[in-house]
Amino acid sequence: MKNILTYLLISASAFVFYSCDKPAPTELFDDSENEFEIELLNKDFDNHYFTSGSDTSGITQDITRLTNLISVSGIKITSANRTTEFSLAQAIFFKRSEPIKYQNGRLLAYKTATPGTIKFNSVEARIVPYRIKYRDNGAPKDTLVGNKYLLYNIFGGFPDPFYFNYNSNVSFEFDPFLPGEDISFNIPTPHQINGFVDLKGSKLSKNLEAALNWNATGPGKVSVVIGLMRPGQQQSIPVYKFKAPDNGKLNIPGRYLNQLPLDRFEKIVFTFVRSFEGYHGNVNNDLLVSSQSIHSIVIDIP
């Protein structure tokens, strides 16, 4: 009996050893409707211009590697239960031959040019100075990089009679100063985006959670930029950009909010952006044409 038992135990042990395979796993595909990409826009809250990508929303600016830009936006800002709407159109053209650099030689931007007359929806854009702010060796600096084309409409046609039409087109016309052909085309515009933010928890308890909702339109993606505003300031510092399917909802995991130094800030800004954009040009896609609907919601941090 003892021999049989020993034999069985040895056999069973060998079996276990050689049978250590495990059942096949199941691979789940994410259809949770909370899919998102996160991008860190600003790691240094004292430098307003750091970004890791080419943002065209007007919320952040990265001009170090920016292509020439034609951008039209319908913008809505909700703060303290008041909503203000305005339209914005701008065009910026860079002269690659004239870089602007930091003291250490690193590229900051390029000088800009205004090579002709530009109209949006038949309204001629004004040429205005284009300044950027940055921090060089710790010291804040403000420099003029040239001019850009600009139209904006805040109060019913003031100061410019430019109106951004949602889910429609904005016409673009370019008449060069130098001899050459005029260029004109229509810029398609997206549906207006209307966001809603449910911000729960408190910064003291470090249990903030944000549930975001917006009017979904189906295919495509929506970007949500989260920014912070210091007390007494009106300009936000962009921190994160979330890019998610345009399905109408996104839950921001609490860890993204609670790890921020919120005690330095008074307000948090959620900016919903639905955009169309496309690159044009014969070489290096050197012209980015974009249109976007933007809804910024400013909330006191609880």
Using CA atoms, how far apart are residues 106 and 65, in angstroms rounded to an integer?
12
3-state secondary structure of 6: helix
Cis omega (within 30 of 0) on the bond before 159?
Answer: yes
- The reply on whether position 260 binds other proteins by CB under 8 A is yes
- Among 10, 43, 83, 103, indicate the residue that binds other proteins (CB under 8 A): 43
Distances (CA, A) of 56 to 1, 61, 112, 210, 274: 82, 7, 17, 24, 11
Count of residues near other proteins by CB under 8 A: 43
CB of residue 242 to other proteins, shortest distance in Å: 10
- The reply on whether position 14 binds other proteins by CB under 8 A is no
- The reply on whether position 45 binds other proteins by CB under 8 A is yes
Identify each DSSP E strand in 102-220 by its residue range: 107-113, 116-120, 123-124, 126-136, 139-153, 169-176, 183-188, 195-200, 209-214
- The reply on whether position 200 binds other proteins by CB under 8 A is no
CB of residue 34 to other proteins, shortest distance in Å: 6
- The reply on whether position 16 binds other proteins by CB under 8 A is yes
- The reply on whether position 5 binds other proteins by CB under 8 A is yes
CB of residue 5 to other proteins, shortest distance in Å: 6
DSSP string, 85-135: EEEEEEEEEEEEEEEEE-TTS-EEEEEEE--EEEEETTEEPEEEEEEEEEE
- Among 10, 52, 101, 185, indicate the residue that binds other proteins (CB under 8 A): 52
- The reply on whether position 15 binds other proteins by CB under 8 A is yes
CB of residue 200 to other proteins, shortest distance in Å: 14
HSE at residue 153, side-chain half, CA atoms within 13 A, is 17
CB of residue 265 to other proteins, shortest distance in Å: 12
CB of residue 207 to other proteins, shortest distance in Å: 10
- The reply on whether position 284 binds other proteins by CB under 8 A is no
- The reply on whether position 218 binds other proteins by CB under 8 A is no
Choose the stretch contacting other proteins; rule: CB under 8 A; options: 5-13, 72-80, 173-181, 271-279: 5-13
Residue whose CB is less far from other proteins, 125 or 208: 208
Distances (CA, A) of 261 to 198, 232, 258, 268: 20, 17, 8, 12
- The reply on whether position 31 binds other proteins by CB under 8 A is yes
Neighbouring-strand partners of residue 88 = 73, 152
Q: Which amino acid is at 193?
A: I
> Interface with other proteins by CB under 8 A: which residues?
1, 4-5, 8-9, 12, 15-16, 19-40, 42-45, 52-53, 239, 253, 255-256, 259-261
